[in-house]
Homo-oligomer: A and B are copies of this chain.
Amino acid sequence: MGEVAANGFSINGNGHVYNDAYVNRNGTANGHAVHHANGNCNGITTAVATNGLPGIRNRAFGDGRRRCFWYEEEVEENLRWCFALNSILHTGVSNYQDIALLDTEPFGKALVIDGKLQSAEVDEFIYHELLVHPSLVCHPNLKSVFIMGGGEGSTAREVLRHKNVKKVVMCDIDKEVVDFCRKYLVVNREAFCSSRLELVINDARAELESRDERFDVIVGDLADPVEGGPCYQLYTKSFYELVLKPKLSHRGVFVTQAGPAGVLTHTEVFSSIYNTLRQVFKYVVPYTAHIPSFADTWGWVMASDHPLTIDAEEIDGRIEQRIKGELRYLDGETFMAASTLNKSVRTSLLKETHVYTEETARFVYGHGKACHKS
């Protein structure tokens, strides 16, 4: 990978970006003075003092000066979402996709693959808690998890918080993305080092087919289905039926990220993924949440041949018992609300007739050629 050294946050050589202290966005991770660019045109750089000494300018929000560096995401060709950019921390390129780690003003560090924001420091917990914990918590006796994609490492990180998980297989096709994230995303460093994690560089379909074992939960952390990309094949009915489902253990649960799920966007792929899974599994639970940095509500779908209904209290109990540390977004009540869709989307989902096959694929806008959401 043609990686570019440009670590604006390199502090004493070991722990840099994706600061562990991101829970407290304004927190300072250590006692060092950190100087970083803030993308401000009339004040390009910022000295963040931690010692309270006078004379070091602390440029807070709202100083009225113009930002002159921008990251511009083309949500659709007629809609742009633009973040003031502090710096371009790292960039890299692989055989599959291009990757960058940015430092943005509004959302902190941000991982961008092929021009699409994958994950932002300040709200990635919403995406990853919702992707991982509902299905893992629903499983009565969780031991093993298979992650399709997930190269960023955050999904594995959340899975590994489950104390009773013995084994996590994470299978991403893109070695360079995995290496990039392992190197730069400090917040996931521990997860990448876990002895419970088996990291495989392979196509998820090939990997699943080649394995004999079954998994209690399979997590789909793939990129959205994209025209011309190979990845949409991992959203088809035949893949679910013939490859994935046979690898689920008794009472196994499958969950996948399912693309934009807003009132205006849920028919791009969310409703179709939902309907496709309904053809393959007996119990299918769609749920959604607004992710600020995505400028949209996002969707996930959980599916199993065993009932997935546990109530809020039971969820809270299992979270308490099984998960290390405290969740920030998810609890029983939150999941109840997230899985109760509004009338507009709910009605629309029930009317959906499209089934995802290799011949009838639907695609989201402009997601390049990336296959694995990392």
A interface list, Cβ under 8 A from B? 1-8, 10, 35-37, 39-47, 55-57, 61-62, 64-74, 76-85, 87-95, 98-100, 104-106, 112, 114-116, 122-123, 126, 175-177, 179-180, 262-265, 289-290, 292, 295-297, 327-331, 333-334, 336-338, 340-344, 346, 365-366, 368-369
Q: For residue A337, which residues in chain B have a CB less than 8 angstroms away from its CB? A: 336-338, 340-342
Residues of chain B contacted by A329 (CB below 8 angstroms): 263, 342-344
**B343 and A44 contacting across the interface, CB-CB below 8 Å:** no
Cβ-neighbour of A43 out of B66, B95, B98, B297 (below 8 A): B98
State which of B78, B79, B93, B341 has its C-beta within 8 Å of the C-beta of A46. B93
Q: Which residues of B contact A115 (CB under 8 A)?
A: 40-44, 65-66, 68
Cβ-defined partner of A180 (8 Å) among B3, B7, B64: B3
A4, B39: Cβ atoms closer than 8 Å: no
Cβ–Cβ contact A72 & B68, under 8 A: yes
CA of A67 to CA of B35 in the docked complex: distance in angstroms?
Answer: 27
Query: For residue A35, which residues in chain B have a CB less than 8 angstroms away from its CB?
Result: 2-4, 93
Q: Given that A2-B92, A264-B122 are contacting pairs, would A328 and B340 also be in contact in the complex, using a CB cutoff of 8 Å?
A: no
Provide the residues of chain B in CB contact with A297, threshold 8 Å. 290, 292
Q: Cα distance A95–B55 when bound, in Å?
A: 7
5 residue pairs from A and B, CB less than 8 Å apart? A1-B92, A41-B74, A43-B98, A68-B73, A292-B297
Q: Choose one: B4, B71, B180, B343; the contact of A92 (CB below 8 Å).
A: B4
A87–B343 CB distance below 8 A? no
Chain B residue numbers with a CB within 8 Å of A44 are: 91-93, 98-100, 112, 114-115
Chain B residue nearest to A336 in the complex (CB): B340
A327 & B342 in contact (Cβ 8 Å cutoff): no
A73 to chain B: closest residue by CB: B68
Within the oligomer, what is the number of copies of this chain? 4
Bound CA–CA A106/B331 (angstroms): 34
Q: CA A325 – CA B85 in complex, angstroms?
A: 40
Q: CA–CA, A44 to B57, complex, Å?
A: 33
- Chain B residues, CB < 8 A from A56: 2
A82 to B55 alpha-carbon distance, docked (Å):
32
Q: Given A42-B114, A98-B42, A295-B81, verify A93-B1 contact (CB < 8 Å).
A: yes
A176 engages B262 (CB within 8 Å): no
User: Given A8-B6, A69-B88, A39 and B114 touching (CB < 8 A)?
Assistant: no
A66 partner residues in chain B, CB cutoff 8 A: 74, 77, 115
Q: Which residue of B lies closest to A294 (CB)?
A: B295
Contact in complex: B40, A98 (CB < 8 Å): yes
Given A98-B40, A123-B263, A290-B290, verify A77-B62 contact (CB < 8 Å): yes
Which residues of chain B have C-beta atoms less than 8 A from A92's C-beta?
A: 1-4, 44-45
Query: What's the nearest-Cβ distance from chain B to residue A57, in Å?
Result: 7
A101 to B131, CA, bound (A): 40
A43 to B100, CA, bound (A): 10
Query: Which listed residue (B4, B41, B61, B79) contacts A37, Cβ 8 A?
Result: B4
Contact of A296 with B292 in the complex, beta carbons under 8 Å: yes
Residues of B within 8 A of A42 (CB): 98, 114-115, 366, 368-369
Smallest CB separation, A271 vs chain B (Å): 16
**Residues A69 and B70 in contact, CB atoms below 8 Å apart:** yes
Cβ contacts under 8 Å, A69 to chain B: 69-72, 85, 88
Q: How far is the CA of A73 from the CA of B41 in the complex (A)?
A: 8
